[in-house]
Amino acid sequence: MFIRAGSWLNFVVEVIIRADEAAAARLVARILVKEVRANPHLVLGLATGRTMEAVYRLLVEAHRQEGLDFSLCRTFNLDEYVGLAADHPGAYRYYMNRHLFEQVNFDPRNTHLPNGMAKDLEAECARYEHVIEKAGGIDLQLLGIGRDGHIGFNEPLSALRSRTRVKALTPTTLEQNAPCFGGADNMPRRAITMGVGTILECRRCLLLATGAEKAEVIARAVEGPITSMVSATALQLHPRCTVVVDEPAARRLEGADYYHWIFANEPEWEEFRES
C-alpha cells in the first residue's frame, strides 16, 4: 500500500479549510475533476446528503462546459435505504439519478448502489462487496459525515473492520435526514451501507463537511481518539484521507493554524489555491 510518510510528519489525514461552503465544494470538485481526467476508468465511490449537492452541480458544470467525460468511470455509492424503490424521492438511487447520473454521461450499467429492495438483504450485501472487488476496488471515495459521526450509514459502534451490511439508523440520523421524508415517521429505519472496513480499503478518501453543526463531530473525527463510537475516526487509519471543511465546520479544530499552513505551503496544493 502506498503510504505518504515523511513530509506529512506522521499526519495522514490532510485537513483543508476553505472560507465557506461554496469554496469547500469547489475544492472537492476540482480534486474529483483532476482524478477523472487523469484516469478515465476511475472507480468512484459516491456519497449522498445535502452537502454533496454543490459538488455534483460543479461536476455537471465541468461536464457541460469543459467536456469532462464520465463514460468509462464506474461508481459505487456508500449506502441505500432498505425498502425504498429506485423511483422513491427519498431513495439514494433517485438522488443520484437526479443530481448526477442523468446530468452527465455515465453508462447507467456502471453506476452501482446497494439494492434496498432485495428479498435477501444479506445476499445483496455480499453481492455488493463482490462487485466492488471485481471492479478492482474503489480509487476515490467521496464521503460526507453524519452528526453522529457516521460515514455511509456506519452508525456508532460499527466495527472498524465491518463490511457491507444492514444497519439500524440512530435517532440522531432519523432526525437529521427526516426533512427529506417529510418527517421521521415516514423514514426507513434501516439501510444497507458499505462497512467501515470496506471504506478503508479504497485508495483515497475525500471527506467534505460544511456548516457549524458539523464542527463538533469534525473535531472528534479528525483529532479525537479512534473509536467505533465515531465511525469517521477510522479514517485516521487510512493512508490517504483528505478532509475538506469550511470555516464554520473547522471552528473546533485545534490544529487549524497548522492545516492552513500546510495548504498554503505544500507544493501539492498549489494548483488548488484560489487567488
φ/ψ of 23, rounded to 5, equals -70, -35
* Single residue of 55, 62, 63, 79 touching ligand GLP by CB under 6 A: 79
Q: Is 87 in the active site? A: no
Q: Kindly state whether residue 195 participates in binding ligand GLP, applying the rule CB under 6 A.
A: no
Q: Is 216 in the active site? A: no
In the sheet that holds 165-168, the strands lie side by side as 79-81, 190-193, 165-168
Question: Nine-digit cell at 221?
Answer: 473525527
Minimum distance between the CB of residue 79 and ligand GLP, rounded to whole angstroms?
5
Amino acid identity of 270? E
Nearer to ligand GLP, 36 or 232 (CB): 232
Q: Is 155 in the active site? A: yes
* Single residue of 177, 228, 231, 242 touching ligand GLP by CB under 6 A: 177
Catalytic residue chosen out of the listed positions 79, 80, 129, 246: 79
In the range 39-58, which residues lie near ligand GLP by CB under 6 A? 47-51
DSSP letter (8 states) at residue 89: T
Residue ranges of alpha helices (H) inside the chain are: 21-38, 50-66, 92-96, 121-134, 171-177, 196-200, 215-223, 247-250, 256-265
Nearer to ligand GLP, 79 or 124 (CB): 79
Q: Kindly state whether residue 114 participates in binding ligand GLP, applying the rule CB under 6 A.
A: no
Catalytic residue chosen out of the listed positions 112, 150, 238, 246: 150
Q: Is 238 in the active site? A: no
Nearer to ligand GLP, 70 or 95 (CB): 95
Catalytic residue chosen out of the listed positions 14, 21, 124, 155: 155
Amino acid identity of 131? V
Task: Tell me which residue of 133, 16, 123, 124 sits closest to 74, measured CA to CA.
Answer: 133
Are 167 and 228 within 8 A, CB to CB?
no
Q: Kindly state whether residue 78 participates in binding ligand GLP, applying the rule CB under 6 A.
A: yes
Nearer to ligand GLP, 104 or 145 (CB): 145
Nearer to ligand GLP, 36 or 48 (CB): 48
Are 82 and 190 within 8 A, CB to CB?
yes
Nearer to ligand GLP, 177 or 198 (CB): 177
Per-residue contact track with ligand GLP, 219 to 258, x per CB under 6 A?
----------------------------------------
How many degrees, rounded to 5, is the angle at CA 126 between CA 121 and CA 129?
125
Beta carbons within 8 Å of 193's beta carbon, 6+ residues apart: 78, 79, 114, 152, 153, 154, 164, 165, 167
In the range 131-160, which residues lie near ligand GLP by CB under 6 A? 144-146, 152-153
**Whole-number Cα distances in Å, 172 to 90, 167, 168, 232, 251:** 17, 14, 12, 16, 22
Binding site for ligand GLP (CB under 6 A): 47-51, 78-79, 144-146, 152-153, 173, 177
User: Which residues are annotated as catalytic?
Assistant: 79, 148, 150, 155
